[in-house]
Amino acid sequence: MFADWPLLSLVVWLPIIGGAAVLLSGDKGGSEGSRRLALIISIATFVLSLGLYTNFDSATSAMQFEERFEWIGDFNIYYHLGVDGISMPLIILTTFTTILVILAGWEVIQKRASQYMAAFLIMEGLMNGVFSALDSMFFYVFWEAMLIPMFVIIGVWGGPNRVYATIKFFIYTFFGSVFMLVAMIYMYYQSGSFAILDMHNLKLGITEQTLIFFAFLAAFAVKVPMWPVHTWLPDAHVEAPTGGSVILAAIMLKIGGYGFIRFALPITPDASMSYDWLIIGMSLIAVVYIGFVALVQSDMKKLVAYSSIAHMGFVTLGLFSVYQILNNPANTDITGAVLAIEGAMVQMISHGFISGAMFLMIGVLYDRMHSREIADYGGVVNTMPIFAAFAVFFAMSNAGLPGTSGFVGEFMVILAVFKANFWIAFLAATTLILGAAYTLWMVKRVFYGEVTNEKVKALQDLNQRELLIMSILAVAVLALGLYPAPLVDVMHASVDNLLQHIAQSKLP
């Protein structure tokens, strides 16, 4: 299906152009039309992105579906798209999540609904662009442009403190990325090309590598976000509308992890090796310390936001533990390293589903009660039994229950890290306890016990639209948890190839 279509261009531009159309459709005379149009466009994009999966050749690590045209000839910048096994699943995650976000905002967003829908569609296209761009400047354009719709989403449809949160979000991420821009320009003069794959083959001295590595770190660590540059995330999440939180947690954070995989590790492997202790340290702090921070939150969204930081700590931990694994004399082959990176990837996809589900759940409650405080709830299971069942399920998967997708990624990473260093693995494994503690404790306080107040008593259970969203996500979480092989298979060749770059010194 669609085998000879320019699929990548379509998944990038269809939502953007469609978003513009939705924007033009306007809100005069009801927003029903723009909502429908947005839904149709998002579903069409998702179907097209499935074409990427069905036509994907998982035997090769080469870029597939490549499209390359000259864009700015004088600067050697190309319109260059292509995916491998690492970026393709992330694109499908993006197109999938966008449908849910559009559905989730269906009745809730009454203020300027067409602008809301359009912003999410444009975001979708830009994020697909980030995952598929193979020219670093093209990548950078998407990477930065993405901030504009998110800025508007949080600022217009967010909570009371939205202006502070959204400006903080923008400045933090902008701060990180401009240094990456300078690094890219520098590498352009070294390699003569802005192509990412040419940069992978670039020889750089250790000083250059270190500086470039820190420029990348500034950009990607803010996005992931890693401790100590995570502070924008709880603010942004708390103030963002439900859809904004879902996109932030499910996809935007993944872009940071993707950046490490695509840029930092293969371009500056020697610097990454010298500073892997730093990243591992920051990741462990994220896992353990942020886990404790999550435990004491009284605001549900904040709690899930902190839990996101902790879970993303696993991603960076998995990615940067490869050097320890490769350098450990006990390991004779690279299977441990492969496991670590694939674990990080699975964790990213799985966290996309689970965090999306968690924020949607909070959205369901918030739409009814207009409160995110845990203390305002209690005994919700009595009035919303179906919803409570879903909530418990997603909470379990957030805590990493075997059989759900949350377990697979974390387990793979912990297993791999054991091959590096017992104590790192030991500390990382505490997340299974902490994660269970903060998630289940929240569920207990919100859902169980006696009905605490009149408002809870008056709650209505899920409507069909919400039920549909929850069921789709539950199926996704279960499917990935029980049978992750299709996902792991498509990325296998690409991860092997990535390891070739990571393991090989780029010193001249």
Partner 1 sequence: MTLEMLNLSIAIPELFLLALACTVLVVDVYLKDESRNVTYVLSQIGLIITLVLISQQSPESRELAFNGLFVNDFLATVLKYSVVLLVAIVFVYSRQYLQDRNIFKGEFYVLGLFGLLGMMVMISSNHFLSMYLGLELLSLSLYAMVAFDRDNPNAAESAMKYFVLGAIASGMLLYGMSMVYGMTGSLNIVEVAVALDKMEGNNIVLIFGLVFMVIGLSFKLGAVPFHMWIPDVYHGSPTTVTSYIATAPKVAGFAMVIRLLAESMGSLQADWQGMFIIMAVLSMILGNVIAIAQTNLKRLLAYSTISHVGFIMLGLLAGNQEGYSAAMFYTLTYALMSLGGFGVIILLTRKGFEADNIDDLKGLNQRSPWFAFMMLIIVFSMAGVPPTVGFWAKLAVLKAVVNIDMLWLALVAVFFSIIGIFYYLRIVKLMYFDEAVDTNDIHCSRDMQLALSANGISVLVLGLYPAALMSICIAAFA
What residues line the site for partner 1 (CB under 8 A)? Answer: 26, 70-75, 112, 115, 137, 140-142, 144-145, 147-148, 151-152, 155-156, 162-163, 166-167, 170-171, 174-175, 178-179, 181-182, 185-186, 188-189
Q: What is the DSSP string of 256-291?
A: HHHHIIIIIHHHSHHHHHHTHHHHHHHHHHHHHHHH
Instruction: Give the residue from 294, 395, 412 showing the smallest Cα distance to 349.
Output: 412
Nearer to partner 1 among residue 214 and residue 323 (C-beta)? 214
d(CA 187, CA 190): 5
Nearer to partner 1 among residue 175 and residue 422 (C-beta)? 175
Nearer to partner 1 among residue 76 and residue 383 (C-beta)? 76
CB 101 within 8 A of CB 243: yes
Nearer to partner 1 among residue 115 and residue 497 (C-beta)? 115
The nearest distance, CB 8 to partner 1, in angstroms, is 17
d(CA 334, CA 340): 10
The nearest distance, CB 188 to partner 1, in angstroms, is 7
Nearer to partner 1 among residue 243 and residue 313 (C-beta)? 243
Q: Cβ of 180: how many Cβ atoms within 10 Å?
A: 24
The nearest distance, CB 286 to partner 1, in angstroms, is 24
The nearest distance, CB 221 to partner 1, in angstroms, is 16
Nearer to partner 1 among residue 152 and residue 427 (C-beta)? 152
Nearer to partner 1 among residue 140 and residue 418 (C-beta)? 140
d(CA 271, CA 265): 9
The nearest distance, CB 163 to partner 1, in angstroms, is 6
Nearer to partner 1 among residue 175 and residue 277 (C-beta)? 175
Instruction: Give the residue from 294, 229, 217 showing the smallest Cα distance to 257.
Output: 217
Nearer to partner 1 among residue 137 and residue 248 (C-beta)? 137
The nearest distance, CB 238 to partner 1, in angstroms, is 16
Helices (H), 26-86: 32-54
> For residue 225, is the peptide bond before it cis, meaning its omega torsion is within 30 degrees of 0?
yes
Helix (H, G, I), strand (E, B) or coil at 110: coil
Strands 77-83 and 64-72: antiparallel
d(CA 24, CA 31): 11
CB 301 within 8 A of CB 245: yes
Nearer to partner 1 among residue 185 and residue 475 (C-beta)? 185
> For residue 228, is the peptide bond before it cis, meaning its omega torsion is within 30 degrees of 0?
yes
* Phi-psi region at 449: left, alpha or beta (left = phi > 0; alpha = psi -120 to 50): left
The nearest distance, CB 148 to partner 1, in angstroms, is 6
> For residue 484, is the peptide bond before it cis, meaning its omega torsion is within 30 degrees of 0?
no
* Phi-psi region at 250: left, alpha or beta (left = phi > 0; alpha = psi -120 to 50): alpha
d(CA 282, CA 2): 43
The nearest distance, CB 252 to partner 1, in angstroms, is 16
Nearer to partner 1 among residue 11 and residue 100 (C-beta)? 11
d(CA 266, CA 260): 9
Q: Which two tokens stand for residue 122?
A: 């444009």
Nearer to partner 1 among residue 255 and residue 344 (C-beta)? 255
Q: Which two tokens stand for residue 82?
A: 């292509």
Phi, psi for 140 (deg, rounded to 5)? -65, -35
The nearest distance, CB 96 to partner 1, in angstroms, is 25
The nearest distance, CB 269 to partner 1, in angstroms, is 22
* 130: exposed, middle or buried (Cβ count in 10 Å: 0-12, 13-18, 19+): buried
The nearest distance, CB 491 to partner 1, in angstroms, is 29
d(CA 231, CA 268): 27
The nearest distance, CB 145 to partner 1, in angstroms, is 5
Helix (H, G, I), strand (E, B) or coil at 62: coil
